[in-house]
C-alpha cells in the first residue's frame, strides 16, 4: 500500500464546466466544434450561462491535477496524493475543493482574493466538444504559499513529486524550490514537457529545472519540438528520448528515465543508454469518446506504480490502462474503482 502523502503535485487547477449546448450557443460566442482556444473578453459571459444549465457537470481539471487524481484513484489509499495550485475565492473554487476532496486528494489550494478560479468551458454538441480555457487565478500562484509551514510539510512528507511544464509559466521559483529539495533529500522529481510552446518560449526555466528531473514525460510532438529548439537535428523520437535521458543531472542518486507517449503507437522508454518500446492497449474507434486527458491519465497511472517501487514495465502497463479507461469517457473521469491487477 502507498503511504499517505507519498506523492505531491503542483500545477494550474482549472474547473472544467461541461454542458450540452446548441448551435445557437456556439454562434453567439463565435466558437467552433473540435477546437481548443484561450478565452477572449467576448467569451467571458458564457461561463455563467453554462453554470446555469440543468445538465452542467463540474470536473476538477488542469493537467497536473488530472494526473494526481488518476494516481489517487489507482492507489485507493485516502490522501496518498496531495496537490497545490491557485484558485479564486468563489463558487467555482468551492466546486473545485469539493470535487478534489471527493477524489481523495489532499488539496492545499492558494486562494486568490481578487481573481476568479480558472475555468475551461467544455461545450458539447452531438458528442463533439469545443474547449475555451480561462487561466485566471491559476496564473497567480506564489511561492510564499509553498513556503508556509503547513504547505511545506507536504513537500517534506512526499517522496515523489510531479509538476507539469505548464506550471513553469506561473511559478518557476516554486518548481525550483521543490526540485532542489528533492535532489538534497534523494527524492524522485518528475516533470512533463507538456506543450510545444513550453519548449519554445519557456526554454530558460525549463532548462533550469531539467537537471533535477528523474523522470521526464512528454508526447512525440513535444519531444520533436524540444529537439528542434536544442538544434539536435533529429525527428527520431527514440533518439530524442535517449538524449533527454542523458541531459546532465543535478544529483547522481537516481538515473534519468524519459517516457514518451505516441498516441496509438508504442510508448518509448529511454534509460541507461538504451531504448525500450511498449505497445499500448488498442481501442476500437467506436469506443473512443474523447482523448481529452489521455496523456494526463497515462502519467497518473504510471506514478501510481512508481510510488510503490514497481518495475518500469508495470508503471507503463498502469499508464496504458489508465489512459485506455479515460478515453472511453467524457473528460478526465473514471469509474468508482480501478480494475487493474
In a domain, 181, yes or no: yes
Q: Which of these is catalytic: 16, 112, 290, 296?
A: 296
Give the count of beta carbons closer than 10 Å to the beta carbon of residue 281: 12
Inform me whether the pLDDT recorded for 163 exceeds 70. Answer: yes
Q: Would you call 296 a catalytic residue per the annotation?
A: yes
Cell of 310: 514497481
Inform me whether the pLDDT recorded for 81 exceeds 90. Answer: yes
The boundaries of the domain holding residue 177 are 7-13+62-117+136-327
pLDDT band at 127 (very low <50, low <70, confident <90, very high): low
**Half-sphere exposure of residue 329, counting CA atoms within 13 Å on the CB side?**
15
Q: How far is CA 288 from CA 59, 126, 260, 312, in A?
A: 19, 14, 21, 27
Q: Where are the beta strands (DSSP E) in the chain?
A: 7-10, 14-20, 36-38, 57-61, 81-88, 106-112, 119-125, 128-134, 160-164, 188-192, 215-219, 257-262, 265-271, 274-278
Give the count of beta carbons closer than 10 Å to the beta carbon of residue 2: 24
pLDDT band at 34 (very low <50, low <70, confident <90, very high): low
Give the domain CATH number at 275: 3.40.1190.20
The label of the residue with cell 501510481 reads 304
pLDDT tens, residue by residue, 274-311: 999 999 999 887 888 767 778 899 999 999 999 999 99
For the chain, state the CA radius of gyration: 19
In a domain, 339, yes or no: no
In a domain, 48, yes or no: no
Over range 69-86, report the average pLDDT. 96
Q: How far is CA 275 from CA 43, 53, 214, 250, 310, in A?
A: 45, 49, 16, 22, 19
| DSSP letter (8 states) at residue 281 | P
Look at residues 93, 134, 139 and name the one whose alpha carbon lies nearest to residue 117.
Answer: 93
In a domain, 50, yes or no: no
> pLDDT averaged over the chain?
92
Cell of 280: 499500448
The mean-pLDDT minimum among 50-54, 108-112, 331-335 falls in 331-335
In a domain, 92, yes or no: yes
Specify the number of domains making up the chain. 1
Task: Spell out the residues 6+ positions from residue 335 whose beta carbon is closer than 8 angstroms to its own.
Answer: 325
Cell of 209: 529545472
Inform me whether the pLDDT recorded for 194 exceeds 80. Answer: yes
In a domain, 308, yes or no: yes
CB 289 within 8 A of CB 328: yes
In a domain, 144, yes or no: yes
Strand order in the sheet with 274-278: 106-112, 81-88, 7-10, 160-164, 188-192, 215-219, 257-262, 265-271, 274-278
In a domain, 39, yes or no: no
Amino acid at each position: 500500500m502507498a503511504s499517505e502523502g507519498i506523492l505531491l503535485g503542483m500545477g494550474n487547477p482549472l474547473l472544467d464546466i461541461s454542458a450540452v449546448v446548441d448551435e445557437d450557443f456556439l454562434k453567439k460566442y463565435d466558437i467552433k466544434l473540435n477546437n481548443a482556444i484561450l478565452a477572449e473578453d467576448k467569451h467571458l459571459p458564457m461561463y455563467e450561462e453554462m453554470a446555469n444549465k440543468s445538465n452542467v457537470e463540474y470536473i476538477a481539471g488542469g493537467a497536473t491535477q488530472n494526473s494526481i487524481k488518476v494516481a489517487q484513484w489507482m492507489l485507493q489509499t485516502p490522501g496518498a496524493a496531495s496537490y497545490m495550485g491557485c484558485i479564486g475565492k468563489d463558487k467555482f473554487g468551492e466546486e473545485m475543493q469539493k470535487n478534489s476532496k471527493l477524489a481523495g486528494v489532499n488539496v492545499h489550494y492558494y486562494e486568490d482574493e481578487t481573481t476568479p478560479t480558472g475555468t475551461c468551458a467544455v461545450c458539447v454538441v452531438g458528442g463533439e466538444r469545443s474547449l475555451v480555457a480561462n487561466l485566471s487565478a491559476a496564473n497567480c500562484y506564489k511561492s510564499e504559499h509553498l513556503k508556509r509551514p503547513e504547505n511545506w510539510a507536504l513537500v517534506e512528507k512526499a517522496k515523489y513529486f510531479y509538476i507539469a511544464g505548464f506550471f513553469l509559466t506561473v511559478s518557476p521559483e516554486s518548481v525550483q524550490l521543490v526540485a532542489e529539495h528533492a535532489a538534497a533529500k534523494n527524492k524522485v522529481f518528475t516533470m512533463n514537457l507538456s506543450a510545444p510552446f513550453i519548449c519554445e518560449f519557456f526554454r530558460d526555466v525549463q532548462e533550469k529545472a531539467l537537471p533535477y528531473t528523474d523522470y521526464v514525460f512528454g508526447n512525440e510532438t513535444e519531444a520533436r519540438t524540444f529537439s528542434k529548439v536544442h538544434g539536435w537535428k533529429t525527428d527520431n523520437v527514440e533518439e530524442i528520448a535517449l538524449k533527454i535521458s542523458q541531459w546532465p543531472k543535478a544529483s547522481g542518486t537516481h538515473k534519468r528515465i524519459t517516457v514518451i507517449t505516441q498516441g496509438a503507437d508504442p510508448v518509448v522508454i529511454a534509460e541507461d543508454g538504451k531504448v525500450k518500446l511498449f505497445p499500448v492497449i488498442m481501442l476500437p474507434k467506436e469506443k473512443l469518446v474523447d482523448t481529452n486527458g489521455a496523456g494526463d491519465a497515462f502519467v497518473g497511472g504510471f506514478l501510481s506504480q512508481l510510488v510503490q517501487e514497481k518495475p518500469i514495465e508495470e508503471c507503463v502497463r498502469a499508464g496504458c490502462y489508465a489512459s485506455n479507461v479515460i478515453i472511453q469517457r467524457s473528460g478526465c473521469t473514471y469509474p468508482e474503482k480501478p480494475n487493474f491487477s
